Amino acid sequence: MENDYQKYSETAEMLKVLAHPVRLCIVNGLLKKGECNVTYMQECMHIPQSTVSQHLQKLKAAGIIEGRRDGLEIHYRIVDRKMEKFIKVLIDREETEDE
């Protein structure tokens, strides 16, 4: 039972981090593209660069993504592979409801 509680607690924390449409979009986009920088994300989502950066920091702090410096740019990628299954379930659920 204690192990179950720990698992539920970790899942709840992950849900808290993902509980914003911009962060869901970032994670889903990184899963599809593999790696990209802030400018690319900003252009795709049509939101200010500072907003993208704030959301990236939250995802980084949660250990979901990491950044790799390439000159002046930082390229972000998913490091928590559980995200792939998790987002797939969420996205598939949404597509099923739309049909």
Q: Is the pLDDT of residue 3 over 80?
A: no
Average pLDDT over residues 39-47: 94
Alpha-carbon Rg for the chain, nearest whole angstrom, is: 14
| Fold entry, domain 14-91 | Arc Repressor Mutant, subunit A (1.10.10)
- The larger pLDDT score, comparing residue 61 to residue 89, is at 61
Q: Is the pLDDT of residue 9 over 80?
A: yes
**Cα(89)–Cα(55) distance, integer angstroms:** 22
Q: Is the pLDDT of residue 62 over 80?
A: yes
- The larger pLDDT score, comparing residue 88 to residue 41, is at 41
pTM of the model: 0.82
Instruction: Kindly provide the residue ranges of all beta strands, DSSP E only, lying in 3-96, ordered along the sequence.
Output: 36-37, 65-70, 73-78
